[in-house]
Amino acid sequence: MMQPISAGFLVLVCAPAAACLVAAVVLWPRFAGRGVRPVAARAGLLLGAQALLTASVVLLVNRYFVFYATWDDLLGGSTTNAKVRQVQPSRGVETAASGPVHRVTTALGPHRRGHHRDPAEDGRVDRLDVEGVRSGLDAQAYVYLPPEYFRPAYASRRLPVVVLISGGPSDTGTAWLRQAGLPEAAGTATGAGHAQPMIYAMVRSVRGLVPARQPRGVRPAGCLDLPGVAGGQAETFLSQDLPLALSTAYRLPRTRAGWGVAGFAASGQCAARLAMLHSDRFAAAASLNGRFGLPADGPGGGARTVVRIKPRAGGPDEAPGDPYGGSEARRLDDDLMWRLGHLPPPPVAVLAAAGATGPDAQTAARFAALARPPMRVDKVLVPGAPATLAGWRHDLPAVLEWLSAHVRGE
């Protein structure tokens, strides 16, 4: 069955739209004149062309941003959670799934023209619906499985996995696919022999995660766990719920050595923070245009997120807009620069990547200068000042090669 983002469905809609537009231009003089019939004919041509063109534009936009990957997404017809069995990463013991996880194969992956889709040749992109049993946050992740994952030679191997964080509330988690061209970059790095095949799990930034039961006006903030805030368990979701869900659905490494994380801008800071504070889960992190001070909600933003702290009994809300509730100690604990200068360094590798002429080059240099063993920080400055994930498209293979050198499969 053709899905809303499939090429065949787009052709079925766009071709009649183009034909209707041409017909309107060609037949318009024939229906000139007064009377009910000419007026009705002109109105029909206009309405038909406008309706089909609007539908074509909507479908093309949906194909690019993937707001609705399937008809079930659009119509809300999917109400069944798949029953899966999982392998616990820590013990390797098969148990019943601890929460609903639903996996759907999409048509977002690479496709060789003139050939049927073959995962062993093209790879595959799945959509994973994750219910965070520890954090109470629900989210969708898009997982790119390289062709090697499906080949017999790799059947007994566990490929490394990299969690990629992107975007905000309006991003569906496909920015790394659509804007950065991740499958192509991975193919370039692997094909050149500079990187091993890896699995990539893409999730929107924590600002886009949805608490299962969220009061009006309350949203997760940054990459933090915020005690007393409904839905304020973003760090728990990214460091525990998401890795568990991925290990439930796929054949992944059971130790930290096979796990990496990467992000762009504010999510780049989040990636570095997850590796530094959860070195038991992640061995490496890549931060593209990342800020390394306090967690930020967006490029150039600070930690001043509009949240509501749970009030004391009989008292008013504390410090609205301050995710730390006025605690200077907690604020410093989340400042990555401060942590490097005052706390023992974690045993992780971090890539601080930025544009050579952009505003983040100095921050990356300072962060790298503060690092000391066993932590390792590599600074990479790329030409220009890429301000979007699309701007990093040319340099993404090099980032993936760096990640590949710092994680390993089993």
Give residue 127's pLDDT.
Answer: 93
What distance in Å separates the CA atoms of residue 393 and residue 372, rounded to the nearest whole number? Answer: 30
Tell me the average pLDDT across 21-49.
82
Chain segment 289-328, per-residue pLDDT in tens:
988 877 654 333 333 333 333 444 444 444 445 667 777 8
What distance in Å separates the CA atoms of residue 52 and residue 249, rounded to the nearest whole number? Answer: 40
Tell me the average pLDDT across 229-238.
80
Give residue 275's pLDDT.
Answer: 97
Q: Is the pLDDT of residue 236 over 50?
A: yes
Q: Is the pLDDT of residue 182 over 80?
A: yes
Average pLDDT, the chain: 80
Give residue 361's pLDDT.
Answer: 92
Of 198-207, 226-235, 358-367, which range is least confident? 226-235
- For residue 7, name the pLDDT band (cuts at 50, 70, 90): confident
Give residue 97's pLDDT.
Answer: 41
Q: At what angle do helices 36-65 and 7-27 cross, to 10 degrees?
A: 150
Tell me the average pLDDT across 341-370.
93
Q: Are 359 and 387 in contact (CB under 8 A)?
A: no
The secondary structure of 226-242 as a DSSP string is -TTSTT-BHHHIIIIIH
Of 44-48, 189-193, 305-309, which range is least confident? 305-309
Q: Is the pLDDT of residue 261 over 80?
A: yes
For the CA atoms of 71, 75, 76, 82, the dihedral, rounded to the nearest 10 degrees, stands at -20
Using DSSP's 3-state secondary structure scheme, residue 143 falls into strand
Tell me the average pLDDT across 278-283.
97
Give residue 328's pLDDT.
Answer: 84
Tell me the average pLDDT across 360-372.
93
Q: Which of 106, 203, 197, 110 is nearest to 163 (CA)?
A: 203
Using DSSP's 3-state secondary structure scheme, residue 343 falls into coil
Q: Which residue has the higher pLDDT, 86 or 248?
A: 248
Tell me the average pLDDT across 103-122.
87
Q: Which residue has the higher pLDDT, 86 or 58?
A: 58
H or E segment to which residue 365 belongs: helix 361-370
pTM: 0.74
